[in-house]
Each structure stands twice: as C-alpha cells, then as structure tokens.
Structure 1
Amino acid sequence: MAEGLTPGNATAPSLEGRHPVPCISASSFWVPKHIPESAWLEHGPFAFWLIEAAKPRCLVELGTHNGYSYFAFCQAVKQLGLETKCHAIDSWQGDEHAGFYGEEVFQLVSGINAQDYASFSRLTRSFFQEALQQFEDGSIDLLHIDGRHTYEDVLEDYSSWRPKLSERGVVLFHDTRVRERGFGVFRLWAEIAEAHPSFEFHHGHGLGVLAVGPEIPPGLRPLFSSDPAEREAIRAAYERLGAAVSQHYQLATAARDQALEDHSAELETVREQLSEHSVALSGARQALAAGQQEQEELGRRLREAEERADNAEASLQAAGAQLGTLQQHSETLQEHARALRRTAEVLRAELLEQTRLSEQQNNMIALLTGQEQAARETLRQLQQSTLWRSMGPVRRGLALIPEPVRRRMRGRSGTIQPALPAPPGHFPAAAAPPTASLPDAGEMPALPSPDHNRDKGAQEVAAVSSSRPEPLPWPPRRISTNGSDMTRRLCIFSFYDPHGVVDDYVVYLLEK
C-alpha cells in the first residue's frame, strides 16, 4: 500500500491540506483479492468506489481476460452486500492487442469465479455480438468495454451494446490514453466525451467514465460535476491509490519471484535429488523387471511343474488301476501256475510211469526180439531138417482137410509151437500158455521117417504145450528112438509165428 493510504480509512486525503477530495471512500482503500498481471491494475481502487457509488443492478464486462477488473467489481459487490448481477463475456482466446493465450487462462478465471462469486456471477464464453441476445434493451446499468482496441472494434461494441443500457447506464472505456499499435479508443472517447457527462483518469493507460443515461446515479454526480481542480485531485488520489496497488503487486511479484527463485533453487536441488533417485529408480525398475521376469519364469516353471504333477497323478491313477488289473491277472496266473504245477506233477508221475513201462516194453521187446530171432533160427533149422522136408506131403494133405475137422483133430492132440508169444486173442489174458523150453541140439531125438526105414537119430526138439487152459493129455517129455518098446501116436501140431498160424502138420510120437 502506498505511503499515506491505509485500507479501510474513511477520511479522504485533502487537496493541499485544506479541503477533502470528493469521490473517495473507505472502499477506495480495499486491497484487491485477486491481483494477476494486468494493464487495468491501477484502477482497482476506483472500481471499488464506483460499485459503491453506482450500485448497479446489472453489470456486464466485454473482454475479461484474466479477470482482474471483473473480480474487483465482484469483490465490491460481495463485500457491499449488493444484489448486482455480474456477467463476464469473452472468447478467452486473446487478440493481437492483449495477446493470444491458451485454455489455462479460462480455467483459472472459471475456478476463481466458481469458488468466490458463483451465486451472482456468470461467465459467458462467446463473442460479444453473439451474447447480445441474452440481454434485454435497457437492462444494463454498468458496461465495461475492454475488448479489441481498434477504433472500429470499439465503436462497434459501443454502438451495438448502447441500446442495452438503462436510463442510468454508465460505460467504462479502458486505454483512452494509448496512441500506439493501432489502438483507437482515444478517438472514440474524444467524439463521445463531450456529448455526455464524463470523467477520464490519465494513469494506468487511461480510463474513461461516461454517463449515457438521462439519470445519473446520485453517487456518481459529484464525479461528473467536479470542477477542474477537484478532477485533478481525484485523479491524483486514485493515481496514488493505484500506484499503491501496483506497488503491492510488484512487492508480491518480487516476493513471488524471490520465492520462485528460492523454489527454483530448491527445485534444482530436488531435481538433482530426483535425478539421483531416477537413477536409483531406474536400477530398481531394472531389478524389478528382472525380478518380474524371474517371477514370470518361476510362474511358468510352477505351471509346468503343476501340469507335470497333474499328468503324473493321472498316470499314477491309471497305473494304480492297471496295477489292480495286473494284480488280479497275477493272481489268476499264479493260480494257473499252481494248476500247471499240479498238472506237471501228475504228468511227471505219468512220465515216470510211462518211462518205467517204456523200459519194461523195451526190455520185453528186446526179450521178444531175442526170442523171435531164436524162434526164427529154430524154425529155420526145423524147415531145413529132414523131418520138415519129409512131412511136406503130409502138410499138403492136411491142407485138404476142412477146417472144422482139423479143429476137432486139434482138440484131441497137443500142439507143437515155437518159443514165441501167442498172437493177440489166442490165449486168455488171465493165464498165459505154458511154454516148453527147447532142448539143446545135442539132446534132440531122432524121429523116424514115414517109411520107418531110416533112423536120423535125435536131431529135432519140439516143445509141447496145450492150446487150452486145461492140462495136456500127457506132459511134455524128451523122447528118443532106441528101437525099444515105443508106441506111435498120430498127432496134429500147429506152428505159430507172431502173426498167426504158420502151418499145421502131423507127427508121430513114440511112447513106451
């Protein structure tokens, strides 16, 4: 705050120390709550007094930008408790005079408005001509024109919005003292200032106050009716008050810049620390990435192990079922093996019996073979004997005897047969026929020939046996021809080989 100015002081500074300055009140010493960088900065104290003096029912600002002037009006309305409806109209895109800016400006203004003044303030984001239809003619008490600053633009804004002003309407024109970069507000102000009650501040790029309605608000009459000396005093007072606000902004900006510088240094330190932390974080991230990869690998291995475990469990279950089947099959095979062992024992016993019988049969065959050879030898000797040759006619004669007759003849005589077994069925199985052993060749008697004239001596031996199980009519004996008491007896004898009867013949036996 400037020297000699105290916010809230109700006593205005005097002109040359003798008379109080008009149009100064306690509100003129308020400190703006929101002080951004603005060309309107030094007119904040007058804005507070203007709202208190005019007490507008409807306020409209064309060109709000960062909201310094508009929020000064709204602060006064709120602190004075007025029922003023405030409207800010802007595209919030900027122009060649104010400069172009981004969306962040509107976001800042919208945030302040919503936080502090939303109950009576509304922001309209559009061009000025588009917003005209939102207001009725004669409804605006205070209009602030601060849009594009060329003569044509300002004239258009004033002309198009003039019908919207009420009978007590007041218009503010900013930049009335700027004559560069194509600004034309000063030209329009020069044309209209003489036609209506007006007042112009020369500081802060100039601010023109114009009463266009037939009724001037009572609080503003001292401003418009002031003489040149009072006007200079008013300008000087508000210039000092504006300078105080500007100095406050500069101090705040310097403090902010210092704080910003301190913060910048601190931020640089933090950035260095952050860089170190970034390096550490990068290493941690790499380690984390490696850990995640390892975790993923472990997870993959775990899934594979679980899958293998599931497969092994399924295989184990299948093997268990197969094992049960194999156990059953094993028990069956064991039972079958035991049966086979029993069968093998039986077959072994049978084999042993068969072996024993085979040995017996082999022995019997060997015996029979020897007996057959002996019989054949005997038969050969017999067939070569004189008796056999001499009995040829008898054999042929016997062949002519019918079989039944011969069977009857056999029943009355013995049978001479070789030492061979009888053919199958010839002897009963219960009792084998007795067999007479042939005598040695030296013991064989010599049988007489049919004509009884030759004595061959003892040359043949016959075994006498019965063809029936009952005893023979006489027992077998050794005979000889010695010319003594001998009786001839006619007998029919049959000789057998293993295949049947060889032949029948008749012999004479000699008995004493």
Structure 2
Amino acid sequence: MRSAEQSELQQNKPHSLTAAPANGVQQPGTDILTPLASRSLFWRARYLEASPALCHIPLLFWLVETARPRIAVTLGMADAVPHFALCQAVDKLGLDSLCIGVENSAIDTEVTRFNQHNYEDFSHFAKATGETPEFLPHGRKADLLIVNRPASKALISALSSTWPSRLSDQSILLFLHSPEAGAEEAFQEAFQTEDKVFTLGLHGSASLVLHGSNQSERLQRLVHLKPGQPGYTAASTVFRRLGELHSKSCELEQASAELTQARQNAALSTAELQKAQAQLKTRADQEEPQSKLHRDLTQARQQNSLLHEELTAFKHRLPSLEEETLNLRKLLSEQEETLSERYNDISVLGLELQAKTEENRKLAEEIEALKRTLGETETLRDAHAERIRDLENSTSWRVTAPLRKASLTLRSK
C-alpha cells in the first residue's frame, strides 16, 4: 500500500468544475456536479493500490458528499480501495456515519492495520457473504450499499428479496463491476429501471441505482442522464478524466517504487561483487595447491561475470524507469492543466445561462399579459356583435325597415 497524503495538501485550493466549449453552449449535465465545484471530485485518495475501482473514486466521493449516508456497507474487501475511499469521504466531510466492510474470508493484515490507524472510530469489518444483512446493527438500515465484486445470481436475488427491509428510503446501490457471467439478465431485470439507474462505463461498468424513494434532486437528475442523450457525455467525461488521475497517480508511485527497488538491487549487486572479489583474493592468498586455486578462480570469475551482467541489466533499466517516471509526471501535469482550463469556462456559461433564463422568464410574462389583453378584446368584440344582432332582430328595426328603404331610394335619386 502506498499513501498519497502529501498530495492532499494541494486539494483544498478552490476548483471550478465548469468548463464550456468555445461556441458558448453549456453542456447539459455538468450543472449536476456544481455549485462552483464539488470539492470532493478533486480529492486525492489516501489509499492507493492497483485496482479497477480507482477510476470510480471521484464518483464515489461525489456520491458520499451528495447523499451523506448514515450507514454505508461495502460488499467485497479483497480490494480495499473503494471502502477506504468511502471512509476518507466520511472523514473529510465530518459525517457521523458507520462504515462496514464485508468479506467472507480473512481480510489482509495490512488492510486491517490501515483501517485501525486511520478510521477505527467509525469503520469496522464483518465476516459474511453479504447475501443477508445480519451484520447490520439491530433496527438500523443502510443508506449506501457498495457492491465491490461481480454480482452473482444469489446476491442479486438477495438484494431483491432479503435486503430491501434493511435499506432506508434514501438507500443507494453502487455496483463497481459488471455482473458475473450468466447473471446479466437477472441484473437487468432487478435494477435497470430506466429512471433509477446511472451507468458509467470506464475500465468496467459502474452502475448507480436509486433504491429508496426519498432521493435528492441532484441524484434524480443524474440517473436521468443516459448514453446518447444530452448531458450524459459531459457528466461521464468529468468522472472519467478525474478517475484517470487516480490511476495515473498509482502508476507513478509504482514506477517510483520500482526505480527505488532497482537502485537498491544495483547497490546490493555491487556489494555482492565486492564481497566475491574479496573472497577470491582471500582464497588465492590461503590456497597453496595450484589446481584448487585455478578451480576457485574459474568459479569466482563465472560468478563475477554473472554479477556484472545483473549489474549491467539494472543500470540499463534505471534510465527507462526514470524516463517513464518523468513522462508520467508530465502527462499528469498536462491533464490537470487541461481540466483546469476547461472547467474555468463553465462558470462563465453558468452566469450566461442564468441571464438567458431570466430574460426568457420576462418574455413569458409579457406574452401572458398580451394573451390576457387579447382575450379581453375578443370578449368585448363578441359582446358588440351580439348587441348588433339583437338590434337587427328587434321589432322596431323591422317596423322601420320601409322607412329606411324609402330614405335610401330618395337619396339615390
């Protein structure tokens, strides 16, 4: 396990998760991740290990900040990255939450040690299959359930039958892997409700399911974003690019560790070579029989040659590791700069959108006023027309008809 706590010192700077294209049209979906920006999207994971879930860490951070679960459960602790990301979010947000990691076998001692050192106050582990929620505190219900392994048919069935009574009306299910082979159809039938699921495809498929009926507006708007529809690309791009930073950070730390190990191995090989040369010299001084001395010398030379080859291999590998480290640092810097430039423009578009919305509201009010005036005029017109018809149909009008006719005749002469 490698810690990234030193990089966390920079993440408290304000960020703007708004970036707009040059044509001035805001991408739908990005406003779900605002206002100005959700700081949680830019947090750096403290616990970094090679994991397919690294690319989903920003989504998990954002989800905890948005939903603020009181009880959160992680099913699957063979990969501890998602559970410790959950704990980190709870810790940074100062939530009074309980985090439970569930695994059906013994959990790695390093994972246990990391949990005790950092999150012992609110995080603990339980040994169970996860197909039944017996490990939950009596009378308590889970608000967030993270499934950190491919869902089996048995688990999908349990989530549909056994679990619902132990899930709150704000409950959310987060699947960080595609279901097991043969369980895809059961997964679709159980959870792929059109207006309840947001699917994010990165290095695998992450699906966010709104299980409870009482959900925030931001979550409801998120699950309405679907692939191929406006807004989905903008939201998924934000999660994807920020998720890549976690993966790149892990690769960078791995490359640095390999470089350090290579240097240590090179130093060890040099020490062994010097020791072999010293032993050879000592034997040469002590051994009198020439034949034995010749055999020892030949053996020492062979060992010396092997050590030289190993040392040469380490020396050849050092530049490539250093170059790879520099490339990774450069790529990370370029991606952060690009994100910063893109996100800085969305805030401007947000203000423009607000101004246009206000202008449209005023125009709508004027149109409503004109409609009312038109309605009043039409009513007055109809009243006058009705009065004219009444006059034409009246007895006095018919009686005076000859007089009007005669008057017209005299005028025409």
TM-score norm. by structure 1 comes to 0.46
| 1:35 corresponds to which of 48, 71, 85 | 48
Matches of 2:47 and 2:160, distance apart in 1: 28
In structure 2, relative to structure 1, the CA distance for the partners of 1:36 and 1:159 (3 Å cut) is: farther
Deviation at 1:204, TM superposition (A): 2.6
2:26 is the counterpart of 1:19: yes
Tell me the equivalent position of 1:238. 239
1:271/1:222 Cα in 2 relative to 1: closer, same or farther (>3 Å)?
Answer: farther
- AA aligned to 2:49 is P
Residue 213 in 1 paired to residue 212 in 2? yes
Amino acid at match of 2:46: K
CA deviations on 1:417-474 (whole Å, 9 max, x unpaired) are: xxxxxxxxxxxxxxxxxxxxxxxxxxxxxxxxxxxxxxxxxxxxxxxxxxxxxxxxxx
Contact 1:201 1:235 (8 Å CA) reproduced: yes
Partner of 1:90: 103
Query: What whole-Å deviation, never above 9, does each CA across 1:375-429 have from its counterpart, x for those lacking one?
Result: xxxxxxxxxxxxxxxxxxxxxxxxxxxxxxxxxxxxxxxxxxxxxxxxxxxxxxx
Pairing 1:348-367 to 2, within 5 Å after superposition: none
Shift of 1:130: 6.4
Report 1 or 2 for greater relative contact order, CA contacts < 8 Å, sequence distance ≥ 6: 2
Query: Which stretch of structure 1 is more off in the superposition, 250-259 or 133-142?
Result: 133-142
Q: Could you say what secondary structure the match of 1:27 adopts? A: helix
Counterparts in 2 of 1:184 and 1:269: CA distance versus 1, 3 Å: farther
Matches within 5 A, 1:310-329: none
Q: Distance in 2 between matches of 1:70 and 1:15?
A: 34
Q: Which residue is equivalent to 1:75?
A: 88
CA shift for structure 1 position 218: 4.4
5 Å matches for 1:51-130?
Answer: 51-92=64-105, 106-129=108-131
For residues 175-200 of structure 1, the C-alpha deviation after alignment (integer angstroms, 9 at most, x for no partner) is 23x7xx73635750464221651111
| CA-CA distance at 1:48 after TM superposition | 1.1
Once the two structures are superposed, what CA deviation does each residue of 1:63-84 show, in whole Å capped at 9, x if it has no partner? 0223100101111111111111
- Determine the structure 2 residue equivalent to 1:10: 15
**Cα distance, 1:107 vs structure 2:** 0.4
Q: 1:108 to 1:83 in 2, by over 3 A?
A: same
1:277–1:30: structure 2 CA closer, same or farther, 3 Å change rule?
A: farther
SS in 2 for 1:142: strand
8 Å Cα contact 1:23-1:222 kept in structure 2: yes
In our comparison, the structure showing a higher alpha carbon Rg is: 1
**8 A contact 1:149–1:183 mirrored in 2:** no
Q: Tell me if the contact between 2:57 and 2:82 (Cα under 8 Å) persists in the aligned partners.
A: yes
Pick closer, same or farther for the CA change 1:13–1:251 going to 2, 3 Å: farther
Q: Secondary structure at the match of 1:134?
A: coil
**Secondary structure of the structure 2 residue equivalent to 1:87:** strand
Q: In the superposition, relative to structure 1, how do residues 273 and 161 fare at CA in structure 2: closer, same or farther (>3 Å)?
A: farther
Q: Identity across aligned pairs (percent)? A: 22
The residue number in structure 1 matching 2:59 is: 46
Q: What letter corresponds to residue 139 of structure 1 in structure 2? A: K
User: Counterpart of 1:12 in structure 2: which amino acid?
Assistant: L
Give the Å deviation of 1:274: 7.8
In structure 2, the CA distance between the partners of 1:128 and 1:254, relative to structure 1 (3 Å rule), is same
The separation in 2 between residues aligned to 1:218 and 1:132, in whole angstroms, is: 31
For residues 140 and 273 of structure 1, do their structure 2 counterparts lie closer, same or farther at Cα, with a shift above 3 Å needed? farther
**How far did 1:11 drift?**
1.3
2:230 — aligned with what?
229
Looking at structure 2, the residues matched to 85 and 146 of structure 1 have their Cα atoms a distance apart, in angstroms, of: 18
CA distance 1:187–1:234, change in 2 (3 Å): farther
Q: Output aligned runs, 1:23-422, within 5 Å.
A: 23-24=32-33, 25-92=38-105, 106-129=108-131, 132-136=134-138, 139-157=141-159, 159-176=161-178, 182=181, 184-185=183-184, 187-189=186-188, 191-194=190-193, 197-226=196-225, 228-269=229-270
Unaligned runs of 5+ in 1: 94-104, 280-512
Shift of 1:14: 2.6
Cα–Cα, structure 1 residues 9 and 253, in superposed 2: closer, same or farther, change >3 Å?
A: farther
Contact 1:151 1:187 in 2 (8 A): yes
- Output the amino acid matched with 2:168: S
CA distance in structure 2 between the aligned counterparts of 1:32 and 1:268, rounded to whole angstroms = 36
Distance change in 2, residues 1:225/1:70 (3 Å): same
Higher helix share goes to which structure? 2
Counterpart code for 2:230: A
Paired with 1:14 and 1:168, the residues of 2 have a C-alpha distance of: 31
How far apart are the structure 2 equivalents of 1:274 and 1:80? Answer: 56
CA distance in 1, matches of 2:93, 2:196: 26
Structure 2: segments with no counterpart, 5+ residues: 5-9, 281-413
Number of equivalenced pairs: 262
Contact 2:55–2:240 under 8 Å retained in 1: yes
RMSD: 3.2
- After superposition, the Cα gap between the structure-2 partners of 1:266 and 1:203, relative to the gap in structure 1 and judged at 3 Å, is same
